[in-house]
Amino acid sequence: MEESLEAAWDFELDSSAGIDQAYGRDEHVGLVALVSAARAGGLGWFYPFTSMGRLCFSTGPRWWMGDGEPVLAFVTVAPEGGYVVWRGSPHVHPAEEVLETHAAGEAVSELERLLGLHDFI
């Protein structure tokens, strides 16, 4: 069964709302804001997934089964608020911290820059 890109983003947005609620985060500064900003920009061409508190992206819906690859940048929601952008694999350490920001749009823009998407969007 093929998972559509739109369905993957809808699922991620719904699950992010639950995660934000569980952590008592406001929707404007948590995962919902981050997922919404990523979906609206160039990252919307990738499949989103969360892994251990990280928002990650892959080139296919089931990268763990060989259907695509994780992209080499991701973002975390900082415990004290805001976002941390990382360069590298979300599953192989060490990843390099690139940016700390309180703005979801700025975190998304940095992810797009790291992935070379600004040339295409």
pLDDT given at position 119: 58
- pLDDT of the chain, 121 residues: tens digit per residue: 457 999 999 999 999 999 889 888 877 788 999 999 999 988 999 999 987 778 999 998 887 777 788 899 999 998 878 999 999 988 877 889 999 999 999 999 999 999 988 655 4
Give the DSSP letter string of 25-38: --TTTSHHHHHHHH
Question: Alpha-carbon distance 64 to 28, whole Å?
Answer: 31
pLDDT given at position 61: 86
pLDDT given at position 1: 45
pLDDT given at position 2: 54
Rg of the chain's alpha carbons, rounded to an integer? 13
Beta strands in 7-108 (DSSP E): 47-51, 54-58, 73-77, 83-87, 96-101
